[in-house]
Amino acid sequence: MKQNEILLNSVETELNMIDLIGDEHISTSVETPLREDAFALSDKEKMAKIELHFREIMETLGLDLNDDSLRGTPKRVAKMYVQEIFSGLNPANKPSVALFENKYQYNEMLVEKDITFFSNCEHHFVPIMGKAHVAYISNGYVIGLSKINRIVQYFAKRPQVQERLTVQIAEELKRVLKTDDVAVVIDAAHLCVSSRGIQDVNSATVTSHFSGKFRDENTRREFFNYLSLEK
């Protein structure tokens, strides 16, 4: 009996810690945590396994998968996970970015604002919905505007923590643009806050990353002025 009590206490402690990590929005790494064998299976093999396991989840919940509306759900979820909302986990889907020489000598700040993205909280696998605002100052090179959006989308399409997403976007832009003069601000709503737990539907989370010239107060102020322009 005593061993059972110890085991139950251990399980309860672990569950409390799991809840704490999720509710306190803890991030453990700048890199998305992936196993070494993360890509040992093909996308087709992954979808087959996810379909099987999600079917078991639905059946465990008591759902009747013989119903016409539910019959295809495990397959749809598997396809959605691998090919859509978590496609950013696979480096093969990373956007190819071509650098162009800044021949028109535009040396001012370039701002791409209101980039809409959808991600998923890695603690509860429910949506994060928001907008990213990105800026850089050319160091002799520029990239196509759509590539900025694609970089945001790539890192958003994986289980995420907003702080990590902000840093990943910034570091990738610095890498491809060969400059430290980069700013990223993300304003997002988390369904793990609004649809469960505290159930606060009005709050939003704002994160930022400033490097290079954007560490200067005047440069940051200019960036924020652009974000507040009337549409």
Question: How many residues are listed for the chain in this entry?
Answer: 231
**Is residue 123 flagged as an active site residue?**
yes
Residue of 51, 121, 153, 172 marked active site: 121
**Is residue 12 flagged as an active site residue?**
no
3-state SS assignment for residue 138: coil
Strand partners, 137: 109
**Is residue 160 flagged as an active site residue?**
no
DSSP characters over 10-47: HHHHHHHHHHHHHHTT----SS----TTTTSS-HHHHH
**Is residue 190 flagged as an active site residue?**
yes
**Is residue 124 flagged as an active site residue?**
yes
Residue of 25, 83, 124, 171 marked active site: 124
The residue type of 98 is: A
**Is residue 112 flagged as an active site residue?**
no
**Is residue 108 flagged as an active site residue?**
no
Instruction: Identify the residue whose tokens are 């990738």.
Output: 172
Residue of 51, 133, 172, 190 marked active site: 190
Residue of 51, 172, 192, 209 marked active site: 192
Residue of 133, 153, 160, 162 marked active site: 162
Residue of 122, 160, 172, 209 marked active site: 122
Structure token digits, residue 53:
């396991």
3-state SS assignment for residue 131: strand
Known catalytic residues? 121-124, 162, 190, 192
